[in-house]
A and B are shown apart, each in its own frame.
Chain A
Amino acid sequence: MSDYASCEIKRPLVRMVRRPAASLAHRTIVYIIALIGALLTGALLIWILGHNPIDVYVSMVRGTFGKRISFNETVKVTVPLLVTGMAVAIAFRMRFWNIGAEGQILIGGVAATSVVVYGQAIPQVPKLILMSLVAMLAAGLYAAIPAFFKAKWDTNETLFTLMMNYIALKLIMYLQYQPGWQADRTTFPKIRSFTPDARLPRVMGIHIGWIIALVLVVIYFIYVKKTKHGYEISVVGESMNTARYGGMNVGRILIRTMFISGALAGLVGFIQTSGADGTLTESTAGGMGYTAITVAWLSKMNSFAMVFVALFIAMLQRGSSSIQTSHGIPASAASLLTGLILFFMLGSEFFINYRLVFRGRPYHG
């Protein structure tokens, strides 16, 4: 056995070992550590830029919740993020990668604006209802197009929905020059402002979009968890073969669900134009269709979690503009912080599923 003792064995330094299903407590701890890690890394970044990290973080929080008006602004960012988050999440549950929420929001905005342009005589309440319905219908149909092609010819929905974003954007640029749509007394490409009767009323100082959003959170949950449709979506998402075997009409489910997904995004278009902005611009969607993907993933497609995630991301966005004014830190640095947090959060999944074993752990021979 003397050979054995002298024999040099090359053992790996670190190995990954799969963990048993992590408990809720374990998950929470990992997430909290990840959040702290992100904030610390962000602090390092801020420090390198020559600022006091604590000051900066404090003014970020103050900028989002400090005053009534800044809180209202934060909610105004949260609402569309939350609803768009649900829009993409319902498609994602079906493993249908709808990254076209951006365009669907714009189409919803165009449809809502068309009511303002062509239906000036309609009184406020029916007008608002009509605007929302038309916005949802138009965006729903717009989103159903890639679903139809996927069902019929198995096209790639990711590229398809992405490309349709640009079509929607160009449509708005075209409408900015059209008579009736273009703002009066200007040659500048700009769509007219909504008349007061086309604006969403306010509740507690914020347009009622926030109430709509909270109602939708509950409806979304029930639809996904309790209805036959929700069940079908989950089966199709897991395995189209199983869905077919179980007698489901997969094509119909794809189209129907994408219609709903688009309709929700269209509703956001209505809320943004009629509630927040009072007009339709190229930046009505403003990247929300993409940020919503983050919202949906971080909340694992759960609508109640989405409320908090959307609020959190809105906070980061609002806070970043506030530190820009108070500390002169570029907004891009704040986006970087958002990115860091996401990176840490998503990376922490690894530590939920695996643990690392280092060389030198004692073993018996």
Chain B
Amino acid sequence: MTQEDKLAIRMRHISKSFGTVVALDAVDFELKEGEIHALLGENGSGKTTLMNILSGIYYPDDGDIAIMGQDVAICSPKDAFNLGIGMIHQHFKLVDVLSVAENIVLGLPPSEETKRKRLNQTIRDIADRYGFDIKPESKIYDLSVSEKQTVEIIKVLYRGANMLILDEPTAVLTPQETEKLFDILRAMKADNKAIVIITHKLNEVLAVSDRVTILRKGQKIDTIPTATANRQILTEMMVGRKVDLQIERPEVTERKLMLQVNQLTALGPDGRKMIDRISFDAYGGEILGVAGISGSGQKELCEAIAGLCPVVGGSILFETKLNGVDVAENLVGQTPEAIIRKGISLAFVPEDRLGMGLVASHDMIDNVMLKNYRDHKGPFVDRQTAREAAEEMVDALEIVTPGVRTPIRQLSGGNVQKVLLGREIRSNPQMLMVAYPVRGLDINASFTIYRLLNEQKMKGVSVIFVGEDLDVLMEISDRLLVLCHGRISGIVDPRTVTKEHVGLLMTGGHDEEVGA
């Protein structure tokens, strides 16, 4: 009995299925007061589902939950909030035009407590107590991503949560910001709050947590004290077998100029300038990494080169052969159709795989022919050739699918990415742009993608890799371009530079290096 009482949360035999997919299979989970508990697992392991059950978004098919020793049923987010559970989601739910304080009380009944002066004081008290750095009066649109996250955390604290769940909180943060967040988590722990962080990053588990629970394919593998764990043990538990965590960076001696971007300026969908006078070169036989806080212009940079984003200035010169003569073709102002017609073999794996790169409801055959269905003569489409190509891809890339006629949306994230990247590689590109190619992929699939990218590099293809995991970017890239607010804040050699230095470049700390 006394043992039970110390538990903030006890979940027993929690099961949840979505259709035939078993997301959670009789999972147990315990959270103590005053601990930071890491929930570790690959994508699709059920970690977010488990926490969504706790925060009232899903209702379990089976199992029971006790909060502070009391059995409860959590039917809605409101129930969860009444029980003192607060979840900070990956996607923030804030109103841009309102202030920090206004967002924090949004939806609460008006009372003495919510009078502006009193409210601001309460928020400042919370901020002081845990070491947040935020002004209650600032507008949300003026805040950085990490400050917005801070607001989300204060929001749940203000509402009296003593159990906090953070879903992949560091995905959008720079190394410095991550460290700051961890300090805050430690301060909250000292205040006897119970904290869960959902993550798939081993370094973070080891850095901040007290205990770690590992999930794999909807099943709980184990809960262990972090002090007894290391990277290798955790990976094996997470993946289920030994994995080599080393990303290769093969050396290519011959490098050939492939792309010259000069003073490129491009607009986002709302007409704002998203990249501003950017200049760089890309070479065949190298991987050029692109790092930056999300929204620093990575998307627009890729889409501008692919002809999908309005360019207002500058040039994009692509080295190609037209009728056997070497020329530098300017891609600015050309539609993707025109670029394809000119025989410029530019492959692009966009960030939004199912919304741009593929058609989710179509099968693999229809997706494979997306870019070359025009090549077949006559009014009909040639599904036979596309089918053969799809079947070859399934074999070569070990794509797990019930068949080439299965709609793409039914495949797992890793297999979707293999279809997309596989199609782009099949076109024998001179240049391959990939945006966040391993987002949402498990370790195994991620390493397949790294291997494929390295293969392309060895073939002399110029690879541009836009990524978010700085560790990966620094291991795989030959050069690393850092974007900050749509400008290049530095192009560095990842073999010699430190992660902290790149982190500073990402936040614009080294503006003096701009230029070249």
Contacts and interface: CB of A to CB of B under 8 A. Distances in A.
Instruction: Categorize the interface residue count of chain B.
Output: 35 or more
A11 B337 contact: no
Interface string A4-44: 10010111100101111100000000000000000000000
A228 B370 contact: no
A50 interface: no
A347 to B, nearest CB: 20
A229 B71 CA distance: 59
B72 to A, nearest CB: 7
A246 B336 contact: yes
Given A9-B71, A245-B308, A247-B340, A365 B12 contact: yes
Query: Interface centre among A9, A10, A246, A364, by most B CB within 10 Å?
Result: A246
B355 A239 contact: yes
A104 B369 CA distance: 34
Contacts of B20: 20
B361 interface: yes
Interface string B351-386: 010011111111000100111011010011100000
Chain A contact residues: helix, strand, loop or mixed: mixed
Given A227-B379, A242-B370, A364-B62, A12 B75 contact: yes
A241 B356 contact: yes
A228 B381 contact: yes
Given A242-B370, A363-B62, A365-B64, A247 B73 contact: no
Contacts of A202: none
Nearest to B382: A228
A227 B337 CA distance: 19
Interface stretch (A114-122, A230-238, A259-267, A319-327): A230-238
A211 B374 CA distance: 33
Query: Interface centre among B70, B340, B370, by most A CB within 10 Å?
Result: B370
Nearest to A15: B59
Contacts, number: 98
Interface residues of A, number: 35
B398 interface: no
Interface string B322-363: 000000000000011101100000001010100111111110
B75 A246 contact: no
Nearest to A246: B370
Interface string A182-195: 00000000000000
A231 B308 contact: no
Contacts of B352: 241
Interface in A193-236: 226-231, 234-235
Contact of B306 (A4, A11, A239, A245): A245
Contacts of B356: 239, 241-242, 245
A249 interface: yes
B422 to A, nearest CB: 16
Nearest to A12: B75
A145 interface: no
A247 B13 contact: no
Contacts of B350: 245
B75 A10 contact: yes
Nearest to A10: B73
B17 interface: yes
A312 B340 CA distance: 47
A248 B348 CA distance: 15
A7 B20 CA distance: 33
Contacts of B371: 246-247
Contacts of A230: 381
A107 B69 CA distance: 73
B10 to A, nearest CB: 11
Nearest to A362: B62
Given A10-B75, A18-B18, A245 B357 contact: yes
Given A239-B355, A365-B13, A231 B373 contact: yes
B355 A242 contact: yes
30 contacts: A3-B69, A3-B70, A9-B73, A12-B75, A15-B59, A21-B19, A227-B380, A228-B373, A228-B374, A229-B379, A231-B373, A231-B381, A234-B359, A234-B362, A234-B366, A235-B370, A239-B356, A241-B355, A242-B356, A242-B357, A242-B358, A242-B370, A244-B336, A246-B370, A247-B339, A249-B337, A357-B61, A364-B13, A364-B62, A365-B63
Those 9 A-B pairs whose CB atoms lie nearest each other, nearest first: A20-B20, A20-B19, A247-B337, A246-B370, A247-B336, A241-B356, A247-B340, A238-B359, A363-B62
Given A230-B381, A244-B308, 16 more contacts: A10-B75, A17-B61, A21-B19, A227-B379, A227-B380, A228-B379, A231-B369, A231-B381, A242-B357, A242-B359, A245-B357, A246-B370, A357-B61, A363-B63, A364-B13, A364-B62
